[in-house]
Amino acid sequence: MKQFDDTVAFTPLKGKRRAVPASEAGLTLLEMIVVLVIIAIVAGLVTMNVIGRPDQARVTTTKTNLASLSSALKMYRLDNGQYPTTEQGLKALAEKPATPPLPAAWPDGGYVSENPVDAWGNPYVYSATGAAFELKSLGKDGQPGGEGLDADLDAKGG
């Protein structure tokens, strides 16, 4: 059996031998450390840019949900001639109301799949007055008013 010294390696193209100095035969520990440090720096930069985004994503999700719920409320009104009462609330979109005024045409499965909550897990605030409604999320803090992420998000219809 032939043995090769450490200065000879196979080239992947045709299997021919060519001389390769031992210092170039593979990655050194120092080169591996440099590559890992570069990867860590890039990962750190990406993480720093993403950390502030979850709350912004929740705001965007809540605004989208408000628009969807507004559409569901308008569909409820088209089917039944009025919006659910304040007492019936948004639950009337997920479950057929048992309190008057009872809906004349309530579809199987309802208008939404479940009683909706905002992206922070707080219930939406809903009120209906005659032929109009107001729907809002109280933001991250779940309290009326506020600024930034704690600001109220709302939708009105009529």
pTM of the model: 0.66
Q: What is the mean pLDDT of the chain?
A: 82
Residue 42: count of CB within 10 angstroms of its CB: 10
53's tokens? 């985004």
Closest CA to 138 of 126, 148, 151: 151
pLDDT in tens, 56-88: 888 888 998 899 999 999 999 999 999 999 999
Question: pLDDT (tens digit, 9 = 90+) per residue, 41-64?
Answer: 887 777 666 666 777 888 888 998
Q: Is 125 helix (H, G, I), strand (E, B) or coil?
A: strand
Q: Find the DSSP H helices in the chain.
A: 29-51, 53-80, 91-94
Residues 126 and 146: their CA atoms lie apart, in Å, by 18
Q: Which of 158, 157, 125, 120 is nearest to 139 (CA)?
A: 120
